[in-house]
Amino acid sequence: MEIGFDGYALGGLSVGEDKAAMWEVVGEIAPLMPAAQPRYLMGVGTPEDLIEGIALGVDMFDCVLPTRNGRNGQAFTSFWKAEHQECTWAQDRRPLDESCGCSVCARHSRAYLRHLYLSSEMLSSVLLSHHNLAFFLDTMRRVRQSIRSGKFMQFRQEFTETISSGVE
């Protein structure tokens, strides 16, 4: 801190440690970092991790998760992580996430996305990655809104319960 960097990074915490150990370290270090400079947690990126990191004072994150998981058939939704090989989606005409406003959810059904994935169509990776990025951006928009309104802790609890429940 004596050098006066424009921001500070925490790294090496998501390479094998269990979550409890990672959050313990972040919880100890983040408050020691200057609040006026951005605090960046490298390589951490599940939606739940973003929320927990923010609660501990982290400002920025980066992770390949939204696109890597999209390329491998997984979509992040407001209710859980959806896997596209789900047989229940074979005839499901609903959007991937009914509360999502992204162009993928506006245009394509679960059945179609499942078909693309099972057919090994490259479009599946593109669409799921696009949706995942839109989901993450919307989540962060909602976080900022909850912070501005003084309701972040309530948002955190509701978000975590909803994601963990896996119920639409």
pLDDT tens digits, 5-45? 999 999 887 777 788 999 999 999 999 999 899 999 998 88
| Confidence (pLDDT) at 83 | 65
| Confidence (pLDDT) at 12 | 81
Average pLDDT, the chain: 90
**Residue from 11, 15, 3, 17 nearest 58 by CA:** 11
Which SS3 state, helix, strand or coil, does residue 12 take?
Answer: coil
pLDDT of 100 > 90? The answer is yes
Residue type, 10: L
Which SS3 state, helix, strand or coil, does residue 10 take?
Answer: strand
**Percent above pLDDT 90 for the chain:** 71
Distance CA 60, CA 38 (A): 7
Place 81 in a pLDDT band, splitting at 50, 70 and 90: low
Average pLDDT over residues 77-106: 84
Average pLDDT over residues 100-128: 95
Place 79 in a pLDDT band, splitting at 50, 70 and 90: confident
| Confidence (pLDDT) at 86 | 65
Which SS3 state, helix, strand or coil, does residue 4 take?
Answer: coil
Rg of the chain over Cα atoms, rounded to whole angstroms, equals: 18
Average pLDDT over residues 137-153: 97
Please count the helices (runs of H) and the strands (runs of E) in the chain.
Answer: 7, 5
pLDDT of 167 > 60? The answer is no
| DSSP-assigned letter for residue 42 | E
Residue/partner pairs of 63-68 with CB below 8 Å, 24 or more apart: 65/132, 66/129, 66/132, 66/133, 66/135, 66/136, 67/129, 67/132, 67/133
pLDDT in tens, 47-65: 999 999 999 999 999 999 9
| Confidence (pLDDT) at 164 | 72
pLDDT of 139 > 90? The answer is yes
**Percent above pLDDT 70 for the chain:** 94
- What DSSP letter does each residue of 51-115 carry, written as one string? HHHHHTT--EEE-SHHHHHHHTTEEE-SS-EEETT-GGGTT--SBS-TT--SHHHHH-BHHHHHH
Strand partners, 74: 83
